[in-house]
A and B are shown apart, each in its own frame.
Chain A
Amino acid sequence: MDEIRILTPTGMLGAGWDEATIERGLALGVDVITVDAGSTDSGPYYLGSATAKTTAKAVARDLRSLLRAAARSGAPLIVGSCGTSGTDRGVDWVAGLVAEIQAEEGLDLPVARIYSEQNAADLKEHLDAGRIHPLPPLGELKAETLESCAHIVGMMGHEPIVEALAAGARVVLAGRATDTALAAAYPLMKGAPAGPSWHAAKIVECGGQCTTNPRGGGVHTTIDATGFTIEPLAADSACTPYTVAAHMLYETVNPFEMREPDGTLDVREATYTALDDRRVRVEGSRFHRAEQHTIKLEGSRVTGYETLSFSAIRDPLVLADVDAWAALLRHHVTARVTQTLGLADDEYAFDVRLYGHNAVLDAIEPETGAPREVGVMLLVNAPDQATATAVAKVANTLLLHLPAAAMDHLPSFAFASSPAEVERGAAYEFVLNHVVDSVTPTALFRIEYGAVR
């Protein structure tokens, strides 16, 4: 086989890069450009609301750079998990930006859009047929859980991307895809061995994260018959056996094995060797084909509507035992809500977080000692926004004036802004961690060619 050279400019489309890194990559020779545009890492909101975490201007800036590079080099551009969560709306959003840029730049690269959104009714048929299985820590799936989701996506492997490339697409805009499928697709299509292809794809998924300078941009990778070689795009950065090997640990449960739709990457026997002071050679990666191809599902549903209020305490009399004050606050909020709004305890929920004291780790915080100042966040969740805001408004006088048990005067705490409440809108949670046995590797995905109609 011929060598396959992959340019990965960053770990997240919209994060930006120094244009010189792209020039350096192109000078090394490039057969395919791959970039991830999504993640579940920032929470269930982006999938639930089908909106992007990144802003259009930043995504467009990065796409312009890559579309120019794709046109100059002849290498196809593959973008995965478009619009953060890979919903159909996310794919159309990126496709719209690509169309605008192609028109402005006088480019006419053929575009494929791969849609990964699933509907609950179709999935229910798979569920009834016994084709959906839970991944730990979740249990068996219930049909009503599918129906409760605002959006569900399936994580595609390389196969739909290969199909789009084989059909002549030069720009592939994928919905939700495994991070690795993006960089693995082209080498696998060209007959590269599966072990090095998937292992290289995992190492490049976060761009420069596998280098000594993660801020310095992306990486250039060459896959051949026995392994792969990787180097950073930034001149002042390096790949070392340590930085490359260590990236197998990033955001994974198991550092030795990684399940993909069509099998499992196994790096137990992989070796990492420095070729010089900036390039690393990796060999010995293996891939075990699974008996059953599976597609992982992600689904997000509304849990209610949230309203947030934020005050702050500096008074040492209160901070001497701020936990007791917070307990008093919780007690009075509950009592006042019952009295004023007539709500039972199960008709709303709230969380009091003492930032500066133990807000981040809460009960598992190991440090003790009195804080100097504390931010008091009240976060309310209710079935509708008006109720959440009503609870926050009832709590307002307490957040402003609640004295500690030992105080015989009325303190006034430091509100950070006016109005005191911020309506956060819908709040979401992920409820799916299940796989579907694939009828075919591409059956759950829809490919369309050309601009969005």
Chain B
Amino acid sequence: MTTISDLALEVRSKNAGPFWVTMELFMRDADGYRAVSFVDERIVAELYRVDPGTIQIFRIPSLNIVKISFPRPVSQGSLRDRDMHAGQHHVPLALLAVRGD
């Protein structure tokens, strides 16, 4: 099984201000970029349990990058926040199997 992470230079996540999470798939090449074209709002919503209507996806083919942003599901620094910088939230996406494999 090939995961997104296998085809990427880096998959990362971070806060974009206190109210948003953003993550980037830096794919190795155009093939890798095409392989993650299946990642859409519905898939991200399922993985992260967020409302698909709040998800923003940006595709930058010239750099083989896909960027995904959505409102932080848990308030930063609150009792239930276990990832202050949202720095580890990329993992479920990185471990996702690439379709057609």
A and B associate: yes
Contact B63–A245 (Cβ < 8 Å): yes
Contact A40–B17 (Cβ < 8 Å): yes
Q: Mark A46-82, 1 if CB is under 8 A from B, else 0.
A: 0000000000000000000000000000000000000
Whether a CB of chain A sits under 8 angstroms from the CB of B88 is yes
Contact B60–A43 (Cβ < 8 Å): no
Contact B54–A137 (Cβ < 8 Å): yes
Contact B58–A254 (Cβ < 8 Å): yes
Q: Which residues in chain B, 14-59, are within 8 Å of chain A measured between CB atoms?
A: 14-20, 22, 24, 26, 47-49, 54, 56, 58
Q: Mark B54-83, 1 if CB is under 8 A from A, else 0.
A: 101010100101010101000111111011
- Segment among A117-125, A222-230, A359-367, A444-452 that sits at the interface with chain B: A359-367
Contact B24–A430 (Cβ < 8 Å): no
Contact A429–B60 (Cβ < 8 Å): no
Which single member of B22, B77, B88, B89 contacts A45 (CB below 8 Å)? Answer: B77
Interface size class of A (residues with CB under 8 A): 35 or more
Chain B residue with the shortest CB-CB distance to A362: B82
Contact B88–A360 (Cβ < 8 Å): yes
- CB neighbours (8 Å) of B63 from chain A are 242, 245-246
User: Taking A249-B65, A433-B17 as contacts, is the C-beta distance between A349 and B79 under 8 angstroms?
Assistant: yes
Contact B82–A353 (Cβ < 8 Å): yes
User: Taking A242-B63, A250-B14 as contacts, is the C-beta distance between A303 and B78 under 8 angstroms?
Assistant: yes
Contact A366–B91 (Cβ < 8 Å): yes
Chain A residue with the shortest CB-CB distance to B17: A40
Contact B17–A364 (Cβ < 8 Å): no
Contact B88–A361 (Cβ < 8 Å): yes
Contact A430–B76 (Cβ < 8 Å): yes
Whether a CB of chain B sits under 8 angstroms from the CB of A42 is yes
Which single member of B49, B65, B69 contacts A363 (CB below 8 Å)? Answer: B49
Contact A351–B80 (Cβ < 8 Å): yes
Could you tell me the distance in whole angstroms from the C-beta of B88 to the nearest C-beta in chain A?
Answer: 5
Q: Which residues in chain A, 353-378, are within 8 Å of chain B measured between CB atoms?
A: 353, 359-367
- CB neighbours (8 Å) of B80 from chain A are 351
Whether a CB of chain B sits under 8 angstroms from the CB of A116 is no
Whether a CB of chain B sits under 8 angstroms from the CB of A130 is no
Contact B77–A427 (Cβ < 8 Å): yes
- CB neighbours (8 Å) of A428 from chain B are 77
Task: Compute how far the CA of A41 lies from the CA of B22 in the bound complex, rounded to whole angstroms.
Answer: 13
Contact A364–B47 (Cβ < 8 Å): yes
Contact A42–B22 (Cβ < 8 Å): no
User: Taking A41-B15, A251-B15 as contacts, is the C-beta distance between A364 and B48 under 8 angstroms?
Assistant: yes
- CB neighbours (8 Å) of A137 from chain B are 19-20, 54, 71
Residue ranges of A at the interface with B (Cβ–Cβ < 8 Å):
40-45, 135-138, 242, 245-246, 249-256, 298, 303, 306, 349-351, 353, 359-367, 379, 381, 427-430, 433
Residue ranges of B at the interface with A (Cβ–Cβ < 8 Å):
14-20, 22, 24, 26, 47-49, 54, 56, 58, 60, 63, 65, 67, 69, 71, 75-80, 82-85, 88-89, 91-92, 95
Give the 10 A-B residue pairs with the shortest CB-CB distance, closest first: A137-B71, A43-B77, A430-B18, A253-B69, A44-B77, A253-B16, A381-B79, A366-B92, A253-B20, A43-B84
